[in-house]
């Protein structure tokens, strides 16, 4: 039998990659034979963390059928965010911090979901529960995941558990939490050399809402204008993606990691529902959302309530 594959969602972010690496290592210490893989190439922020802690970049897989493997999922559960043939896979475990939707299995499984800011915070608990020592490099990638998902512990998704976990992991990894985290986040804001299509796919997820298929992408920056000056190019790419993939609505969230604000760029049908969800008026298909940085907590629930 092939190794059990451990992976996060499509368009992987630092938590999707880091949680897969950390959970795979834990399972191997517990006697299982697993491999951390990815459903896409790591972004620049994640690659910075991997390089900093001298960890190998997980290989990218495209099909479970080709691998002939059982799987464990981290940082996601919704099938449309997973590998294309996930419905045919035997899922042994899920560790996640998102909503549970569009998920079912034929057999019982281990499922751990908690309302914290990052999957890696949950995985730290699992190491403690199993009394497994965390190597420095594994602590480093878990710390990176927490700092990424919580924007240096400033996101509204961040809990006291995430803060405690980050401090504990920073000590094991022997890094200064703030200075390392800022350098890592800045590594992911180099957007000028990327096409609009690439920008829209860096961190994008699809969500069924009512009878609509909503695509929500997010990019981090230190200068909102740097991204928004490319509005025409971005709108053309968003329209193209909707036509190709059947999305009814495409929302791009451009987040300033220094000011903790975001600007929306919206394309598609039912724009009035976006206005209703965020209590704003779109001007030229755009709106500034003060204090909004979290897609999971400040965007998806609000949209879902309106669409449903």
Residues 164 and 24 in one domain: yes
Known binding residues are: 9, 13, 15, 75, 97, 149
Binding residues for Mn(2+): 9, 13, 15, 75, 97, 149
Q: Is the pLDDT of residue 269 over 90?
A: no
pTM summary value: 0.81
User: What span, in angstroms and rounded, lies between the C-alpha atoms of 259 and 255?
Assistant: 9
Domain final residue pick, 189, 210, 233 = 189
75 and 215 in one domain? no
Task: State whether 65 and 91 are in the same domain.
Answer: yes
Q: In residues, how long is the chain?
A: 308
Q: Are residues 170 and 254 in the same domain?
A: no
Q: Which strands sit side by side in the sheet containing 91-96, from one edge to the other?
A: 34-36, 4-7, 71-74, 91-96, 110-113
Helix spans in 64-195 (H) = 64-67, 119-130, 136-149, 160-173, 177-187
> What pLDDT, in 10s, does the model give residues 1-15?
579 999 999 999 999
DSSP letters spanning 21-73 = HHHHHHHHHTT--EEE-BBS---HHHHHHHHHTT-PPPPB---HHHHT--EEE
Instruction: Sort strands 204-209 and 110-113 into parallel, antiparallel or unpaired.
Output: unpaired
Q: Which domain holds residue 238?
A: 196-307
Q: What is the pLDDT of residues 172-199, one digit of tens each?
A: 999 999 999 999 998 988 888 889 999 9
The reply to whether 146 and 202 lie within a common domain is no
**Could you tell me if 200 and 303 lie in one domain?**
yes
Distance, in Å, from the CA atom of 133 to the CA atom of 122, rounded to the nearest integer, reads: 15
- Residue in the block written with tokens 């999922």: 73
């Amino acid at each position: 039998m092939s190794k059990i594959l451990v992976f996060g969602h499509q368009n992987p972010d630092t938590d999707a990659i880091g949680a897969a690496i950390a959970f795979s290592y834990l399972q191997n210490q517990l006697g299982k034979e697993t491999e951390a893989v990815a459903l896409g190439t790591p972004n620049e922020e994640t690659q910075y963390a991997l390089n900093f802690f001298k960890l190998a970049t997980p290989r990218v897989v495209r099909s479970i059928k080709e691998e002939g493997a059982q799987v464990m999922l981290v940082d996601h559960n919704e099938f449309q965010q997973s590998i294309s043939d996930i419905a045919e896979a035997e899922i042994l475990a899920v560790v996640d911090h998102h909503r549970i939707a569009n998920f079912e299995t034929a057999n019982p499984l281990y499922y751990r979901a908690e309302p914290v800011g990052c999957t890696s915070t949950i995985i730290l608990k699992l190491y403690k529960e199993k009394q497994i020592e965390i190597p420095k490099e594994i602590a480093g990638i878990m710390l990176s995941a927490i700092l990424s998902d919580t924007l240096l512990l400033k996101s509204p998704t961040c809990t006291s558990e995430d803060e405690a976990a980050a401090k504990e992991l920073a000590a094991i990894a022997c890094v200064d939490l703030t200075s390392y985290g800022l350098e890592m986040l800045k590594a992911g804001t180099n957007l000028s050399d990327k096409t609009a299509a690439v920008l829209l796919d860096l961190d994008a997820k699809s969500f069924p809402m009512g009878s609509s298929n909503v695509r929500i992408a997010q990019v981090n920056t230190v200068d909102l204008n740097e991204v928004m000056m490319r509005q025409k190019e971005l709108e053309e790419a968003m329209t193209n993606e909707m036509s190709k993939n059947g999305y009814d609505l495409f929302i791009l969230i451009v987040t300033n990691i220094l000011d903790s604000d975001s600007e929306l760029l919206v394309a598609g049908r039912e724009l009035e529902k976006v206005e209703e969800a965020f209590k704003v008026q779109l001007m030229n298909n755009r709106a500034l959302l003060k204090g909004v940085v979290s897609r999971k907590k400040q965007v998806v629930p609000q949209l879902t309530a309106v669409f449903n």
